[in-house]
Amino acid sequence: MSSGEIEKEKKYNTWVVVLSIIIPLVVALLFKVKIDMELPVFLPPIYATINAITALVLIVAVFMIKRGNRKLHERLMKFAIILSGLFLVMYVLYHMTSNSTSYEGDYRGLYLFILISHIVLSIAVIPFVLITYVRAISNNFERHKKIAKITFPLWLYVAVTGVVVYIMISPYYN
């Protein structure tokens, strides 16, 4: 790795740390804000669909890089990041304008396990996604591949469990 690539990566690492801290804090703070308005659409099925699309995009992106199609892989990964950001905005907006729904079914323990693991890993995956992305744009592909092997299953788990949580809670929405 050249000294230019190292410097480029270091420059971005500060942003990785800052965003990895600020994003979860802002989301947590916004959850305490309640806006008295009714949204024109019911967001949970929309952001669950975004999670499903994200999971598919991640799988196709990995398939593309394994086939040697770096350009399409890059585009798909950028799209997955955009989808995740869009999901987050809608998720926060929904919770700022709606009361939380409680799961009351027979599988409450399973639901809570999936939900809690989803939330914890959705916070943990932020620095992994950012570091993986920085290593790619810094042309540090050996290190990119190493961390991508961790990032991919974490991110995929978060996307898939987001859909599972929605499916499990959907009968309890008012």
CB of 105 closer than 8 Å to CB of 111: yes
Domains in the chain: boundaries: 3-24+42-172
pLDDT tens digit sequence for 87-107: 999 999 999 999 889 999 899
Mean pLDDT calculated for residue range 27-42: 89
Give me the pLDDT at residue 31, please.
83
DSSP state of 99: P
pLDDT band at 1 (very low <50, low <70, confident <90, very high): low
Contacts for 84 with CB less than 8 Å, ≥ 6 apart: 54, 129, 155, 159
Per-residue model confidence as pLDDT tens digits over 104-155: 989 999 999 999 999 999 999 999 999 999 999 999 999 999 999 999 999 9
Q: Which residue has the higher pLDDT, 139 or 50?
A: 50
Taking every pair of C-alpha atoms in the chain, what is the biggest distance, in angstroms? 57
Non-local (6+) Cβ contacts of 142 within 8 A are 1
Name the architecture of domain 3-24+42-172.
Up-down Bundle (1.20)
Rounded Cα gap, residues 5 and 149, in angstroms: 21
